[in-house]
Amino acid sequence: MLTRINKNNTQELAAFIAGRNQEISSDVLIQVSEIIEDVKENKDEACRRYTKQFDGVDQKTFRVTEKELDEAIQQCDPDFCKAMQKAAQNIIDFHQAQRQKGYRLQKEMGIYLGQRVLPLESVGIYVPGGRAQYPSSVLMNAIPAHVAGVKRIVMVTPPDKQGKIHPNIAYAAKIAGVSEIYKIGGAQAIAALAYGTQSIQSVDKITGPGNIYVAAAKKMVYGKVDIDMIAGPSEILVIADEEANPEYVAADLISQAEHDPMASAILVTTSQALLEKVNAALQRQSAVLPKKDIIEASLRDYGKSVVCDTIEECIDISNAVAPEHLELMNKEPEVYLDLVKNAGSVFMGYYTCESIGDYFGGTNHVLPTSGTARFSSALGVDAFIKKSSYLHYTKEAIEAYGKEIIVMAKEEQLQGHANAARIRMEDKQ
Amino acid sequence: MLTRINKNNTQELAAFIAGRNQEISSDVLIQVSEIIEDVKENKDEACRRYTKQFDGVDQKTFRVTEKELDEAIQQCDPDFCKAMQKAAQNIIDFHQAQRQKGYRLQKEMGIYLGQRVLPLESVGIYVPGGRAQYPSSVLMNAIPAHVAGVKRIVMVTPPDKQGKIHPNIAYAAKIAGVSEIYKIGGAQAIAALAYGTQSIQSVDKITGPGNIYVAAAKKMVYGKVDIDMIAGPSEILVIADEEANPEYVAADLISQAEHDPMASAILVTTSQALLEKVNAALQRQSAVLPKKDIIEASLRDYGKSVVCDTIEECIDISNAVAPEHLELMNKEPEVYLDLVKNAGSVFMGYYTCESIGDYFGGTNHVLPTSGTARFSSALGVDAFIKKSSYLHYTKEAIEAYGKEIIVMAKEEQLQGHANAARIRMEDKQ
């Protein structure tokens, strides 16, 4: 049953959702910084040692060959492959619309200035291994990089006990435009991507989810390379009116709750009657699901409900929470979309369950968590480009505007700045 | 004299430039975290106490009134005001071209999806006080926020010994679209912006330069709010051919060196003869400048030169360094711009000194330092927007594509995700 929150306690609810982030313990930080230093110094040898220690595999080389990739892919379920292909195409379509162009302004006296949009030269994508594997996450990270024009897209993923790559991960990499794959995981993989080894060339940015060691390593190498946002526990906020089907609402709340005991599912509704039906459906549906224990823990500790008078009031609450996922399960969701100010991704109407977006619809599933949708965005093409400005002045132009530059520089007590303009103005050549 | 580097030691040069970042000492971190906790708990009272302690002023209120603002502005040099107005207009023109629009894709069976571009709701801009004051930096931070459509732009700046705001800073705020000004500085100002006090409402993002305490505080509140990149020491790389005027080259290298003893000025040239003339000019020009000591320390410790055979080779070196500022003081700079992959801002030709861009040209002067231009961009409108995606499926669409979602969810062992799709497909209402 979802814990009931009074609609006037919105700020407390927002703080509760934002406050779930896991602290990284100093034990983990120390261990990870030792691994990073070791990989910086001993490169491939250190990577091999850690892979033996943590993954139980002694590998001479990390790179997945074409042959190994093809053999892995042979083992995939053909229906899964077909679904992945369609999903990949939808994701490509959505992200292609995000491509940006540079611009140039031409002004008086031969002055021009502008901005170029350039892809990053190389990107590393971390893909977790172990029992749970997420091929959808390979698509969501690699496709935007590929669409952005990144030439070198490097995937790292831990080997299984037999030293193999998971077939589904291999297939996802193949269709998403990954250019190099290495079987290495954990903090050692992040260190190798950031600093380079004999066999793995360093990259400019690292994205992708991982466990607490991977997250700690990403934080530590940030600055040397760029990283994506470190995701906190996931959340969904469902706004539902009295016509929403309580079975759908419950199913969607559960699909969030099954990720993690710290995931949060929040129902904000105009209907007390619906809330009661949803609570009953949550119990019934979760009882038969494999991840029953996780779901029950998540709903018990982080499941919340709020009853409001109007959909506008529901949206005010959502804007304060700034949820990663927002479902608008009300009539005319399009009318209300404009009121939504803070949400990673919005799922519109009664039939758009979050899992469509998680896998298939085309929008990105890497979204800002824990209230950070107030100021940040889904992963997309923007994450894999940089913008570089340029400016051109002629002799005539610096003679015309040099005095403005000199007066501003002098007020800031930077005479050297003034001098660079003056020297060009006074030059009578 | 610039230390000569062999052109084959490019990687060492790049690592040297990237490695200048100042570590924040644990003393500073502890002090700053105490201030933040104090402001979180005691709000205005703590802010007043720290302002008394650090700025020597006991203020009952922090907000700068309209009257106070107008009085301050009266004291500005009219020539400075005219220059600032022109600069502001150039900055507005350049940044307006960065505005982005959302998009929407309409697909089969009533499916649609898209992305909305939304301004952040509120932004805080830190402006340092003390003897050096940088009104240009107010323009560079506030104008992009204003162009992005941010409604609430809050400036914080420490009061002077008389409890006043600096006239030039006041004027810059007035013309840059700042909506609230508070006389408060240091870590306490950052804490107030992040957590809010009785008199200062919290914001979604904090930008702007500051001393080591401000930088530490920004790092600590990151996550609660967004922050801009924490700038390292500044650098310029000048590419010059044999026709470049050595006096201009020297003046531009000096304009970087005068910022900070850790600033780096690098000359990469195809002409040994030019290098010798530049070294002589550096000595001559810096001898008569007020910041002579800083310039000499910077050039001695961080000034470098490289001689290459071709301009292409010079650009390869620049791409490895990824400088904050790059000057192309060679013939036909436009032909070579395409080869430049990593640079915050590029100054084209013999007459475009960096100080035009620092103050007046319109491009932003808040740029990625220490090699981070490999993966990041100048401050601009992008820093003050967020993107929110949306997705709509109809009953017909989920019936058509539900099986793809189910097969993908099952492979990831997320039955709850599959269930949310299945329940809608099987519903025969």
**Boundaries of every domain in chain A:** 3-21+232-361, 26-227, 393-426
pLDDT value, residue A189: 98
What CA–CA distance (Å, rounded) separates A179 from A122?
10
Q: Distance, in angstroms, between A408 CA and closest chain B CA?
A: 6
- Side by side, the strands of the sheet bearing A112-119 are A103-106, A112-119, A385-392, B345-348, B325-329, B235-240, B264-269, B304-307, B3-4
Facing B395 at nearest CB: one of A258, A348, A351:
A351
Contact B360 A405 (CB under 8 A): yes
Compute the average pLDDT of residues B118-145.
Answer: 94
What CA–CA distance (Å, rounded) separates B176 from B275?
41
CATH number of B3-22+232-361: 3.40.50.1980
Which residue among the candidates B95, B146, B166, B325 is catalytic per the annotation? B325
- pLDDT, one tens digit per residue, over A202-230 is 999 999 999 999 999 999 999 899 999 88
Contact B404 A375 (CB under 8 A): no
A429: confidence class by pLDDT, cuts 50, 70, 90 = low
Q: Distance, in angstroms, between B250 CA and closest chain A CA?
A: 9
Q: Is residue A2's pLDDT more than 80?
A: yes
Mean pLDDT value across chain A: 96
CA A411, chain centre distance (Å): 43
Q: Is residue A21's pLDDT more than 80?
A: no
- Judge whether A175 and A88 are in contact, CB under 8 Å: yes
B254: confidence class by pLDDT, cuts 50, 70, 90 = very high
Percent of chain A beyond pLDDT 90?
A: 93
Compute the average pLDDT of residues A145-160.
Answer: 97
Q: Give the max Cα distance, chain A.
A: 87
Compute the average pLDDT of residues B252-275.
Answer: 97
- Judge whether B99 and B148 are in contact, CB under 8 Å: yes
- pLDDT, one tens digit per residue, over B290-347 is 999 999 999 999 999 999 999 999 999 999 999 999 999 999 999 999 999 999 999 9
CB interface of A with B, residues 77-96, below 8 Å: 77, 79-80, 82-84, 86-87, 93-94
pLDDT value, residue A327: 98
Facing A83 at nearest CB: one of B257, B393, B408:
B408
Q: Is residue B131's pLDDT more than 90?
A: no
Quick one: closest CA in B to A419, which residue? B251
Q: Distance, in angstroms, between A344 CA and closest chain B CA?
A: 5
Q: What is the CA radius of gyration of chain A?
A: 26
Residues of B in contact with A219 (CB under 8 A): none
A264: confidence class by pLDDT, cuts 50, 70, 90 = very high
Q: Is residue A377's pLDDT more than 70?
A: yes
Which residues, in sequence order, are bridge partners of residue A224?
none
Q: For residue B126, say whether it is annotated as part of any ligand binding site.
A: yes
Which residues, in sequence order, are bridge partners of residue B346?
A390, B326
Residues of B in contact with A421 (CB under 8 A): 353, 355-356
A3-21+232-361 and A26-227 have identical folds: yes
pLDDT value, residue B130: 72
Q: Quick one: tokens of B11?
A: 């990687």
DSSP code for B308: -
Contact B344 A389 (CB under 8 A): yes
Contact A401 B360 (CB under 8 A): yes
The residue among A423, A210, A86 whose CA lies nearest residue B244 is: A423
Residues of A in contact with B364 (CB under 8 A): 389
* Dihedral (Cα; B125, B130, B136, B139), 10-degree rounding: 20
The residue among B166, B203, B189 whose CA lies nearest residue B76 is: B166
Percent of chain B beyond pLDDT 90?
A: 94
Q: For residue A259, say whether it is annotated as part of any ligand binding site.
A: yes
Quick one: closest CA in B to A362, which residue? B113
- Judge whether B374 and A121 are in contact, CB under 8 Å: yes
Contact B121 A374 (CB under 8 A): yes
Residues of A in contact with B149 (CB under 8 A): none
* Dihedral (Cα; B407, B408, B413, B416), 10-degree rounding: -80
Q: Give the max Cα distance, chain B.
A: 87
Instruction: Report the amino acid identity of residue A397.
Output: A
Q: Is residue A22's pLDDT more than 80?
A: no
Q: Quick one: tokens of B25?
A: 């000492």
Which residues, in sequence order, are bridge partners of residue B156?
B126, B182
The residue among B199, B195, B198 whose CA lies nearest residue B187 is: B195
Q: Is residue B429's pLDDT more than 70?
A: no
B336 touches chain A (CB under 8 A): no
Quick one: closest CA in B to A408, which residue? B80
CA distances in angstroms from B157 to B67, B74, B194, listed in the order given: 17, 19, 15
Which residues, in sequence order, are bridge partners of residue A351?
none
Percent of chain A beyond pLDDT 70?
A: 100
What CA–CA distance (Å, rounded) separates A385 from A427?
40
Mutate: best of A220, A286, A321, A414, partner B, most B CBs <10 A: A414
pLDDT value, residue B232: 85
| Residues of A known to be catalytic | 324-325
The residue among A376, A113, A320, A145 whose CA lies nearest residue B383 is: A376
**Residue at token pair 């030059």:** A427
Class for the domain spanning A26-227: alpha beta
Compute the average pLDDT of residues B246-267.
Answer: 97
What CA–CA distance (Å, rounded) separates B43 from B311?
57
B427: confidence class by pLDDT, cuts 50, 70, 90 = confident
- pLDDT, one tens digit per residue, over B367-405 is 999 999 999 999 999 999 999 999 999 999 999 999 999
Q: Is residue A231's pLDDT more than 90?
A: no
ipTM: 0.96
- Pairing relationship of beta strands A304-307 and A325-329 according to DSSP bridges: unpaired
Q: Distance, in angstroms, between A348 CA and closest chain B CA?
A: 5
pLDDT value, residue B204: 97
Residues of A in contact with B103 (CB under 8 A): 97-98
Facing A346 at nearest CB: one of B136, B342, B390:
B390
Sign of the Cα pseudo-torsion (A376, B378, B96, B315, in order): negative
pLDDT value, residue A427: 78
Residues of B in contact with A247 (CB under 8 A): 423, 427
Q: Distance, in angstroms, between A5 CA and closest chain B CA?
A: 23
State which CATH number among 3.30.565.10, 3.20.19.10, 3.40.50.1980, 3.40.50.620 fits the domain covering A3-21+232-361: 3.40.50.1980
A27 touches chain B (CB under 8 A): no
pLDDT value, residue B47: 98
- Judge whether A306 and A271 are in contact, CB under 8 Å: no
- Between A301-310, A323-332, B41-50, B222-231, the lowest mean confidence (pLDDT) is in B222-231
Contact A420 B21 (CB under 8 A): no
Compute the average pLDDT of residues A137-151.
Answer: 98
pLDDT value, residue B151: 97
Q: Distance, in angstroms, between A325 CA and closest chain B CA?
A: 10
In the annotation, is B365 catalytic? no
Sign of the Cα pseudo-torsion (A294, A300, A302, A303, in order): positive
What CA–CA distance (Å, rounded) separates A402 from A398?
5
User: Residue B388: helix, strand or coil by DSSP?
Assistant: strand
Burial class (CB in 10 A: 0-12, 13-18, 19+), B266: buried
B391 touches chain A (CB under 8 A): yes
Quick one: closest CA in B to A133, which residue? B412
A12 touches chain B (CB under 8 A): no
Quick one: closest CA in B to A286, which residue? B416
Q: Quick one: tokens of B255?
A: 């304009």
Facing A355 at nearest CB: one of B94, B121, B409:
B409
B202 touches chain A (CB under 8 A): no
SS3 per residue for chain A: CCEECCHHHHHHHHHHHHCCCCCCCHHHHHHHHHHHHHHHHHHHHHHHHHHHHHHCCCCCCCECCHHHHHHHHHCCCHHHHHHHHHHHHHHHHHHHCCCCCCEEEECHHHCEEEEEEEECCEEEEECCCCCCCCHHHHHHHHHHHHHHCCCEEEEEECCCCCCCCCHHHHHHHHHHCCCEEEECCHHHHHHHHHHCCCCCCCCCEEECCCCHHHHHHHHHHECCEEECCCCCCCEEEEEECCCCCHHHHHHHHHHHHCCCCCCEEEEEECCHHHHHHHHHHHHHHHCCCCCHHHHHHHHHHHCEEEECCCHHHHHHHHHHHCCCEEEEECCCHHHHHCCCCCCCEEEECCCCCHHHHHHCCCCCCCCCCCCHHHCCCCCCHHHHEEEEEEEECCHHHHHHHHHHHHHHHHHCCCHHHHHHHHHHHHCCC
Compute the average pLDDT of residues A78-88.
Answer: 98
